[in-house]
Every structure is written in C-alpha cells, then in structure tokens.
Structure 1
C-alpha cells in the first residue's frame, strides 16, 4: 500500500550555515562596530545577545532572512522572552523540530474530516498516511499545503 510521512524537520547543517551568515553580517555591519553582539547555537536553540534592544531585534530579523536563504521555513522559529542581564539584552530562539502531539492530532483530525480514503496514524513525532491509491495520498498532501498550521510541514518517505 502506498504511504508517506508528514514531518516537521530542521536541517542542523543549514541552521549552522544560517547562524554563521548572521555572525559574519554582524561583524561587517557599520551599526554593529564597537558593539558587543553575539549569536551562538546548540542543537535547535539559538542564543542572541547584544547591548541594545534594537540590535537584538535586527539580529533576529537577520536570522530569519538567513534561515529563508538556507531553505528553513521561518515558521519553525519560536522567540523566547527578552531578558536583560547586565548590559546585554538576550533572547533565545527555539527552532521547532518534530511534530508536537497536539499538532499531530490536529493533522489526523483534518484528514479524517475530509473523509478521504486514507488512514492517518501518529508515530512518534510524525504522522504516517497510507491509502490504496497514489492520487488519494497526493490529495492529502495538497490539503496539508492549503492549511495554515503553526509549524512548517515536509512530506517524505513516499512509497508506492
């Protein structure tokens, strides 16, 4: 039976490239000369710190643009609270990786509401969709692309 998986993944290599691009841009920009500004990441958490609130906002915008250039949907970004620590303003940006339980349930519910001839099941942090016809699966993909969900979706492991 044909099947595919609905996932939400962020490529670590592309994330590293995006953070490096922002780091280089900050080092070259005139308005950041003589200002203490840093951007680092561990796994899917990006730490941004700078002397001013406005500069932190600019760095978040630069990160968003770099993520787009590297093929990562900015919907995966989740901004944390700004925190003042000494003379630095810090913000943590978390990149969502994997489908959360609530979103996976919402996806299964959307598929069932359309009464398509497919089965959808939650498997860890992904949703597996199986059906008898390839066209039914392609209809599910089209449906998911039309819906505005809070996280970017990818469709992989398409098997006939």
Structure 2
C-alpha cells in the first residue's frame, strides 16, 4: 500500500467510507447492477447521450429545451479538460493500489492509476446540471439526479 497524505485520507475516513461502499457490492446481483450503471456512464458514450438529448429535444422541445443540449455539449468539453488535467496532475492511484488487492472488491478488469476525479461521475452530474440549468422538465432531471448518484456510487462499488 502507498502512503497517502493526511489531507487526502481524511484521517482514515476516506478508506473506511470507500471500503464500506465497495463491500456493499460483494453480492453477484448488486455487482452486476453497479457494473451496468458504471458501464452506461462511460465518457466514451458521450456521443450516444448527446444524440439522445437531440432526439428528445426534437420530439419534446417543451420538456427538453435546446439550452440543455447546448449546456451538455459545451459542458462536456470543459469537464473533459478539467477531469484530464486533474487526473494527470493529482495522479491518485486506484483503490486496488492504495488499499491492496485483498481488501478491495473489483468487478471487471482492475485499473491502477488516475482514479480521481471520476470521468463517469463527472459526465453523469454534467447531465443533471445541464438539465437543471437548461430548465428541463422535472420528469427528466429528477431521474437523471438519481442516476448520477448511482453512477458515483457504482464507481466505488466496482
């Protein structure tokens, strides 16, 4: 395990919180569910999410105004630049490196570097922010907010 600065570990609370969330997904069903939630939020799927927003805007402009589509498109570029810069600058190791492979439940292929910030969670919360700032209908942004929380949770779970 690598030594971490006290400000990062929150005096041990960072590890405790992470491990509690991570081990809640030890069951096969929950592991599979969290893996799916995380998979759908991959930053590589930005074009798919963008296309979905455009389709909804074209079909229901009162439910999803153009401002949402614009916010998401421009916001993704900004978020991508910020996430890449922070990941490179901070270079936090993945939990499997920081805590050891025996203590961390990993679903799928383990990764070793650049754990923070999560590009998956950043994109999910960008979607929520775009919906809120673009004044989208509650029928869209409330489920998106729940989804974003699940994405953030899933990144620790898997």
Whether these two folds match at TM > 0.5 is no
Please tell me whether Structure 1 or Structure 2 has the larger radius of gyration of its CA atoms: 1
More strand by share: 1
Give TM-score scaled by structure 1 length: 0.27
TM-score, normalised to structure 2, is 0.27
